[in-house]
């Protein structure tokens, strides 16, 4: 009789910034491993560009999803729980599922945990988890920078902006680098609020490339520079979502739901 071997595959976009990886992706994986002591934890990243960069720069190989699947099957894994650390159900998550399911016939079972923002409950729990660690005065605003995507799942960012305010966080705004809500939209709204200070923080799992360059750099096109050009005092916070304990707890819940534990 074949022995059952359960594995947990943590799938992340990845980052080439070691400091933020240690505080975010590594911490999420550690929390998942602790929550599933009987499962073997594996890692896969979905960004081919980042995987190539760290292989070339650091000589470090991290599996993509296909490589991780082949590794697990070779290791005798029979039952698989996949937990993405993706923020939304977008392009990366869709592709990850396709890549995993290409190997499903070699396993007894495959179950998928959902990304961070999947249900209305997730949205509200995410806001509470994040705002628990912020203490803003009424003359300050907090602006989160999400990634944004052409995928229809991008609508969650505007919904989140509305939900912040619906839950009483009137001075918290949600924007994206690559989609809507845009920086132009944020500037109009924040001018109307007239704060004394603007706090900028990434709404991404890691505080990596976008946080370092698009959000907080001295480049004239960065969010920091553009807010300052509009006359605002700006403070940047390089804290990825993976650093918030409450966010890690949501990923654990999603993985447990996938495993049928909750």
Evaluate whether 214 touches 177 at the Cβ level (below 8 Å).
Answer: yes
Q: What is the mean pLDDT of the chain?
A: 96
My answer on whether 182 and 106 are in the same domain is no
What residue numbers bound the domain in which 22 lies?
6-116+244-259
Per-residue pLDDT, 262: 67
Evaluate whether 246 touches 65 at the Cβ level (below 8 Å).
Answer: no
Distance from C-alpha of 4 to C-alpha of 8, rounded to nearest angstrom:
13
My answer on whether 94 and 32 are in the same domain is yes
Instruction: Kindly list the catalytic residues.
Output: 147
List, for residues 172-201, the tens digit of each pLDDT value.
999 999 999 999 999 999 999 999 999 999
My answer on whether 144 and 223 are in the same domain is yes
Asked if pLDDT for residue 2 goes beyond 90, the answer is no
My answer on whether 50 and 102 are in the same domain is yes
Task: Determine the 3-state secondary structure of 47 from DSSP.
Answer: coil
My answer on whether 250 and 235 are in the same domain is no
Q: Is residue 122 part of a domain?
A: no
Q: Is residue 45 part of a domain?
A: yes
My answer on whether 142 and 111 are in the same domain is no
Q: Is residue 121 part of a domain?
A: no
Q: Is residue 127 part of a domain?
A: no
Evaluate whether 116 touches 247 at the Cβ level (below 8 Å).
Answer: yes
Distance from C-alpha of 27 to C-alpha of 85, rounded to nearest angstrom:
11
Evaluate whether 175 touches 185 at the Cβ level (below 8 Å).
Answer: yes
My answer on whether 226 and 253 are in the same domain is no
Q: Is residue 128 part of a domain?
A: no
My answer on whether 155 and 206 are in the same domain is yes
My answer on whether 254 and 229 are in the same domain is no
| Number of domains the chain contains | 2
My answer on whether 15 and 104 are in the same domain is yes
Residue 220 CB-half CA count within 13 A = 0
CATH number at residue 249: 3.40.50.1400
Q: Is residue 124 part of a domain?
A: no
Residue 196 CB-half CA count within 13 A = 4
Tokens at residue 141, please?
């605003």
Helix-helix angle 245-259:120-131, to 10 degrees: 150
My answer on whether 94 and 170 are in the same domain is no
Evaluate whether 46 touches 13 at the Cβ level (below 8 Å).
Answer: yes
My answer on whether 140 and 229 are in the same domain is yes
List, for residues 109-157, the tens digit of each pLDDT value.
999 999 999 999 999 999 999 999 999 999 999 999 999 999 999 999 9
Q: Is residue 35 part of a domain?
A: yes
Asked if pLDDT for residue 1 goes beyond 60, the answer is no
List, for residues 6-55, the tens digit of each pLDDT value.
999 999 999 999 999 999 999 999 999 999 999 999 999 999 999 999 99
């Amino acid at each position: 009789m074949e022995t059952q071997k359960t594995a947990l595959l943590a799938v992340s976009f990845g980052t080439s910034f070691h400091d933020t990886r240690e505080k975010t992706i590594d911490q999420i994986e550690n929390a998942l491993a602790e929550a599933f002591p009987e499962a073997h934890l594996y890692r896969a990243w979905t960004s081919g560009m980042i995987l190539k960069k760290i292989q070339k720069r650091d000589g470090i190989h991290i599996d993509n999803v296909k490589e991780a699947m082949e590794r697990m099957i070779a290791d005798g894994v029979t039952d698989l729980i996949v937990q993405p650390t993706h923020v939304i159900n977008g392009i990366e998550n869709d592709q990850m599922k396709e890549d995993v399911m290409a190997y499903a016939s070699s396993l007894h079972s495959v179950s998928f945990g959902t990304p961070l923002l999947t249900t209305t409950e997730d949205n509200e729990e995410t806001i509470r988890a994040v705002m628990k660690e912020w203490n803003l005065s009424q003359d300050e605003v907090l602006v989160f920078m999400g990634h944004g995507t052409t995928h229809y799942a991008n609508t969650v960012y505007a919904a989140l902006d509305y939900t912040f305010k619906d839950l009483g966080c009137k001075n918290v705004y949600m924007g994206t680098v690559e989609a809507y809500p845009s920086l132009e939209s944020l500037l109009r709204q924040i001018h109307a609020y007239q704060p004394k200070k603007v706090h900028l923080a990434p709404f991404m799992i890691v505080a990596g490339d976008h946080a370092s360059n698009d959000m907080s750099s001295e480049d004239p096109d960065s969010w920091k520079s553009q807010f300052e050009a509009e006359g605002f005092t700006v403070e940047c916070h390089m804290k990825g979502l993976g650093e918030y304990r409450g966010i890690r707890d949501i990923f654990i819940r999603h993985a447990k739901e996938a495993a049928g534990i909750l």
